[in-house]
Amino acid sequence: MVELLIKRQNITIMYRKIVNMLMFFAIIGIFGSTSLLAQNQDDKSSTSVFTGKVVNSDGEPISNVFVKSFEANGKSVTNKEGEFTIEVSNENDQITIDEFGYLFSTTEITDGKLEDNNINIVLSKVGTLQNSTVKLPYQSFSNNRSVSATYTISGEELQSYPASTFLETLSGRIPGLTVNTYSNGSGSIRFDLNTGGINTGEDVYASIRGDNVSFYIDGIRRDPSDLNVFEVESVQVIKDMSGRAVLGLAGLNPVIWITTKTGKKFKKEISVTTETGISSPTSQPEYLDSYNYASLFNEALTNDGLSALYSSDDLAAYKNGTDPLYYPNVDYFDDYVKTSSKFTRANINFSGGDEKVNYFSLLDYVQTNGLEKIGESSINNRFKARGGVNIKLTDKIEFRVNIAGTYQAQKFPNEGNGPNPFNLFNFIATNPANAHAISYDGKYIINDNYPLNIENELLYGGYAESANLNSQNSTSLLIDLNELTKGLTFTGTAGFDTYSTVVTNKGGTADLYRLQNNNELVRVQQATVVPNLNLGNDFFSRNTTAFLHFDYDRTFDKHALTMNASYYAGLVEYRGWGNYQPIKKQDFGYRANYVYDEKYVVQLDLSYTGSMKLPEGDRYNLYPTIGAAWVASNESFLSSSKVVNYLKAFASYGIMGNDDFRTGFSSTYNPYYLSTTLWQQVGTWQSGINDNRGNSVSVFNIQQEGSTNYQLPEMSYLNIGTQGEFFDKSLSFEVNYFSQVYSNQISQRSSLIPSLFGSGSFLPLTNYGKTKYWGLDGYLQYSNKVGDLEYSLGGNAQYKRGKYVDVDEPAALEDYRKLAGKEVDMFRGYQAEGLYQSEEEITSRGVTQSWGDVQPGDIRYRDYNEDGVVDEKDVFTTDEHAARVFYGANLRLKYKGFGLFVVGQGRADGTISVNSDYFTGRNPRANYSTVMLDRYPETNNLPRLTTQSQNNYQNSTFWRKSAAYFTIKNIEFSYTMPKSIANNILLPNLKFFVRGKNVASFSEFSDYNIDPESLNSGVTVFPILRTFTLGVSCKF
């Protein structure tokens, strides 16, 4: 107990230290803003009035734009002609404009005038390909120079999503990116070995082109689960190899490169957002009442030739509800599950700076609650703080500090007195309405078949508390080496991240009774009260990172050359789960990008990278990537086109090693010690005979045979794409073709090598296996303005397929059973031919199915090899396949101060398996869903019910349903007060909004009230939530 208190105290002390430091940054922000304001207000005699005009790149005026002067702290709003009048310093000043949809603009004022006495300030649109910047690892390029398949979205664009998880906000927004939510229960914990981070509550998974994603936050590989949109400056999705090759082995998978906010020169801002609302399940499974459950259970028994369990009197009692003690009909959802819970989010951040110092600080709070209707509901409070300062020590040296800390406190009813949450929804799925009465005369009831009582679990079964602290810290030094070599700079960064979680729990129970005849209760469990919390989980991880890079950037007439040399080292350590195994990364990278006449681009990337999974002395390999681009719109034949504003073609090809392989062929192989022969003790042995034995000696056998004749698997990646803007940049698009080949996979070749040469752990590892994938992705977006109505609509899509090329499988295996040559996502199983309709059909067919005698209502399977028996030899690759087309759609409307934004995502094809208890009723002692009402002989939609036969539960095409769905993921309806009015009440950019997430889904599963993104949501795990909020935000 003392140790537990010390651990919790240490977490609290560490959290307070981080918060104190971040509060210091916040105070700097507030003090800096207010002191500058006071200073400027006290010195009105040194100001004058400046009149100007704000226009777009075509010279058209932009109205309702908020304009500020930095030194004089003047404020103004442009009129319909784009004109404004503002107070500026008589000496030097800066006019700043931060307008949504345009790049931040700073205009220098000298002696009260613009340069060349010009009065026009030109704003450039955000999102135009020609003006955009591509942020790649360790280097940023103008889009003209990029040869990579990338996509950029700003943090501000993601703020419309009322979600506690950052990744959810990316849903439907980015071509090639698929985001899905799989809830694992409020409060449960999952550790990510790759990032050294923890995810809690809803699990949100992201994939790009079907591959797992590596997340980098400010250049360091990190877990984004506690990131929030208000601290994000931009999100860069890097899909091909040319953009991420310098990351080495860590860049094998696509990368989401996240840049957090920092202060901007001459931009002082305080931003406040608060919203509150309710969350409710997107789906609620439907189960049978006691009468229907008992009737169908009798039917299943009768189908198996067994006697019915429930008599006609029993059924009548269930139906009439005349005796709820012996014939209960418990509605678990109505009695124990709330229809909604509360969601709250609040955020305040400060930013500003001048030529010497820039700062940014943030405080964020999110609260979510559980759905338990009785007892103490689950609650999750998350506090986030971030602070950063950039200081120009000299004209040549800049120092940066970025500190972030998250403290998360959770409390929830626990499962079995342990550290994990009580799974309320799995309880409902496994306990039918007639399992037993809940209580009688204030005493809780259980029985042998259903030994849990839901009220006891929620009221007296105990609870758990978790305290989680995530700290992400980095510091950087930037040095301008221009005097040494023109165009040369140096950047060095060190990062130190920690994650700590302590889960404490206590159990308990009320008295539990078994119901006998004549309303008699017999106590089977005595009440227990545990007075103190016990240590359930104690986990700690540490991520230490260092990277440095030299950058060279020069332009010579029509030639431009950029080079980058980088070094990255990382160490992830964790304690608490499993054996200690540090994960080390070390990479040397080089990139050279050359452009001629702003039209022709070539790029070379080299990565010299090491892996712990290779033998010592042979751990490093060199992997190359090449790329090229052609900016066709800069050619003379297109430069003056009124239709084509921008057009670029690009391509890249690269090779990278893969040390994220698994040794699933044998659980005894340790991937970090493959070159070492490992032994394990399996027992002891004594010589002699009974009553006359020698001393015991240990007996060992080989756990794995050391292997040296292998190399890292490789992945080659080809990307060919084009992007452009047409019709005065109102229409933009990008299309990419990609192909990736995984080769030299780690294998024992145990199926190809005759057993005479060894098997199991005696076979050394080698390289064998090849798989190929290919596909398309892209987007199309159209934006325009008609009068006061601004609108934008578009969509993105991804299509991917794959094929096994070389597979370790027996040479003598029949061709139809082999994987080689088959597509990766095709369903392998039995081909269902419907249901048997009569005994005559069964007899006349003359085919035996391997799971016992069949009868009418059982699934009929194809005898693929026509040997008269349906068995494992009839499993083959069917025509069914998983979803291949994923898409997203968006709509944005703006009319004066009103705004509407909608985004959705979905799948367009493929099938998905529903071979689970909810759809099959394979476990009759669990709850029967209402789906079972469609069973044979009522319909042919489902096979007959059974308590014994396994025939109907084989993986077959019978249990495949359409995977297609469309979900409206996010809606925001808002009203922004006119800036002229808001400015007068000292709250510019005042915005009121209504937001929603997971608003509605449309799919075949809508008929079953099941969420198509996660078929187990609300069934065996905590449901995915639909959230609606009301809120307000302002910037000043």
Average pLDDT over residues 25-52: 56
More confident position, 936 or 518: 936
Average pLDDT over residues 519-540: 88
Mean pLDDT of the chain: 87
Separation between Cα atoms, residue 289 and residue 833, nearest integer Å: 32
More confident position, 36 or 653: 653
**What does the chain come to in residues?**
1036
Q: Which two tokens stand for residue 567?
A: 């070094």
Contact 783, 217 (CB under 8 A): no
Separation between Cα atoms, residue 584 and residue 948, nearest integer Å: 51
The pLDDT of residue 671? 78
Neighbours of 637 (CB within 10 A): 9
Listed in order, strand segments (DSSP E) in 439-511 are 439-440, 443-446, 463-480, 488-506, 508-509
More confident position, 387 or 187: 387
Could you check whether the bond before residue 328 is cis, i.e. omega within 30 degrees of 0? no
Q: Edge to edge, what strands does the sheet with 232-238 contain?
A: 150-154, 232-238, 255-260, 214-217, 220-221
* pLDDT of 4 over the 60 cut: no
Q: Which two tokens stand for residue 913?
A: 């398996």
* 754-767 pLDDT per residue, tens: 665 555 556 778 88
Residue 791 CA from chain centroid, whole number: 29
Phi-psi map region of 866: left, alpha, beta (phi>0 left; psi -120 to 50 alpha): left
Q: Which two tokens stand for residue 174?
A: 């980015």
Contact 609, 587 (CB under 8 A): yes
Contact 626, 652 (CB under 8 A): yes
Please list the residues that pair with 876 across neighbouring strands: 829
Q: How much helix, strand and coil, in percent to the nearest 5, is found in the chain?
A: 15, 50, 35
* 912-959 pLDDT per residue, tens: 999 999 999 999 889 999 999 999 999 999 999 999 999 999 999 999
Please list, in sequence order, all residues whose beta carbon lies within 8 angstroms of the beta carbon of residue 156, skipping any fewer than 6 positions away. Answer: 100
* 699-712 pLDDT per residue, tens: 887 777 788 888 89
Separation between Cα atoms, residue 218 and residue 257, nearest integer Å: 8
* pLDDT of 392 over the 90 cut: yes
How large is the C-alpha radius of gyration of the chain? 33
* 966-1024 pLDDT per residue, tens: 999 999 999 988 866 655 556 667 899 999 999 999 999 998 999 999 999 999 989 99
CATH class of 2-123: mainly beta
Contact 413, 30 (CB under 8 A): no
Separation between Cα atoms, residue 952 and residue 860, nearest integer Å: 9
Nearest to 973 by CA among 1031, 1027, 900, 903: 900
Average pLDDT over residues 284-308: 96
Under the banding of pLDDT at 50, 70 and 90, the label for residue 265 is confident
* pLDDT of 774 over the 90 cut: yes
The pLDDT of residue 17? 52
| DSSP 3-state of 503 | strand
**DSSP, residue by residue, 104-164:** -EEEEEETTB-GGG--EEEE-BTT-GGG-EEEETTEEEEGGG--S-EEEEETGGGTT---S
Which numeric CATH code is attached to 129-261? 2.170.130.10
Per-domain boundaries in the chain: 2-123, 129-261
Report the half-sphere exposure of 880 (CA within 13 A, side-chain side): 19
More confident position, 1036 or 228: 228
Average pLDDT over residues 274-292: 95
Contact 568, 247 (CB under 8 A): yes
Please list, in sequence order, all residues whose beta carbon lies within 8 angstroms of the beta carbon of residue 365, skipping any fewer than 6 positions away. Answer: 344, 345, 346, 347, 381, 382, 383, 384
* 85-106 pLDDT per residue, tens: 888 887 788 888 888 778 788 8
Average pLDDT over residues 72-78: 83
Q: What is the value of pTM for the model shown?
A: 0.89
Average pLDDT over residues 153-182: 88
